[in-house]
């Protein structure tokens, strides 16, 4: 049987009720003891690297997770990461860039209710994750949740309380798990070995436009970061009138070597700045990057990874448009 390492990081799945609300407290041994059938199809092992509410996740936590995977890679056939749902999509995205082309599966999962509750979704999610990690076709970074297998760069939490918390945005699910069986829809070719790149640049900011927003907010965001993700309206429209003054701010910081990525506030179908003048005019005037159908989580994670590798504008552009784990299609 395959050896699978569970990396416990906290989250709702490991939480207990306290005087001030739920907080992580269960050990990885306790988690595994609640799903004994896992041992019927694999040999599980576990390690606790931190035990936090995922709201408190930082890039330093991401590096620690990736380091454990790197250091233990030759000892195990796959990895299951127990994680809080609130930032799981960010962690799945950033691991997709830090550990690329992994022939061994790196599965993230969690739950909407603690695993020790009678009505929990944690036991089935944990079982399904180990089942998928033990399957022959599994590879790369994925989220397994409520029977769905989602590419690590395509997942988004779309519900705060329901069990069906995650969807795959603008890309099909890789597989489904039903009645203890993995039904594969998309088979990812396996590489011979992974590529580890564990440095991140956390100086990446996101600002979402609102009608009447002062351009000084964008100016501050550029000042504090090496790259800014500007979330526009519709297909990627950015106001171009004198009232807003966004063009002046963008020109000022682009001359100083800052990176700008334009995306859309709309969850599905992505951006296309060529359609309207308010998008095309900006793209024609400035050397910006357009996110197309990438998720917020993947854009931010990819920029953190890229800017830790290079500061050269052309290299940034090349790496940004290089598809990783299905993050950018077309």
pLDDT tens-digit map of 123-149 = 999 999 999 999 999 999 999 999 999
Torsion angle defined by CA atoms of residues 149, 189, 193 and 48, in that order, rounded to the nearest 10 degrees:
10
In the chain, CATH 3.40.50.40 sits at 204-320
Q: Which of 9, 85, 109, 153 is catalytic?
A: 85
User: CATH fold of 204-320, please?
Assistant: Rossmann fold (3.40.50)
Are 175 and 149 in contact by the 8 Å Cβ rule? The answer is yes
pLDDT, position 21? 87
This prediction has a pTM of: 0.96
- 85 carries a ligand binding annotation: yes
Catalytic-residue membership of 12: yes
- 259 carries a ligand binding annotation: no
Q: Which of 12, 120, 188, 263 is catalytic?
A: 12
Q: Residue ranges of the chain with pLDDT lower than 50?
A: none
pLDDT, position 104? 98
pLDDT, position 20? 83
Catalytic-residue membership of 85: yes
Tell me which residue has tokens 């809080």: 84
Are 172 and 40 in contact by the 8 Å Cβ rule? The answer is no
User: CATH fold of 3-196, please?
Assistant: Rossmann fold (3.40.50)
- Which residues, in sequence order, are CB contacts of 118 under 8 Å at separation 6+? none
- 86 carries a ligand binding annotation: yes
pLDDT, position 330? 63
């Amino acid at each position: 049987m395959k050896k699978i390492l569970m990396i416990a990081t906290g989250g709702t799945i490991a939480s207990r009720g306290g005087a001030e609300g739920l907080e992580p407290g269960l050990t990885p041994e306790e988690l595994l003891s609640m799903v004994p059938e896992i041992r019927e199809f694999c040999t599980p092992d576990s390690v606790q690297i931190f035990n936090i509410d995922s709201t408190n996740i930082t890039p330093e936590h991401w590096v620690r997770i990736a380091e454990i995977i790197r250091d233990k890679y030759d000892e195990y056939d796959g990895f299951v990461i127990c994680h809080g749902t609130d930032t799981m999509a960010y962690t799945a995205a950033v691991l997709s860039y830090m550990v690329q082309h992994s022939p061994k599966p790196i599965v993230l999962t969690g739950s909407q209710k603690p695993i020790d509750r009678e009505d929990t979704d944690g036991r089935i999610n944990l079982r399904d994750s180990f089942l998928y990690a033990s399957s022959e076709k599994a590879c790369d970074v994925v989220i397994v949740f409520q029977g769905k297998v989602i590419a690590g760069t395509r997942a988004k939490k779309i519900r705060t309380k329901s069990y069906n918390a995650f969807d795959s945005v603008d890309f099909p699910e890789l597989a489904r798990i039903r009645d203890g069986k993995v039904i594969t829809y998309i088979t990812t070719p396996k590489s011979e070995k992974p590529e580890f790149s564990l440095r991140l640049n956390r100086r990446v900011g996101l600002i979402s436009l609102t009608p009447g927003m002062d351009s000084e907010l964008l100016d501050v965001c550029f000042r504090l970061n090496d790259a800014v993700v500007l979330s526009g309206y519709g297909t990627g429209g950015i106001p171009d009138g004198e009232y807003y003054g966004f063009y002046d701010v963008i020109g000022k910081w682009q001359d100083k070597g800052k990176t700008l990525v334009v995306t859309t506030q709309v969850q599905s179908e992505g951006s296309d700045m060529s359609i309207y003048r308010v998008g095309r005019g900006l793209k024609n005037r400035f050397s910006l990057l357009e996110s197309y159908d990438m998720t917020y989580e993947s854009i931010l994670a990819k920029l953190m990874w890229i800017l830790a590798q290079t500061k050269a504008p052309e290299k940034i552009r090349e790496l940004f448009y290089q598809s990783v784990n299905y993050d950018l299609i077309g």
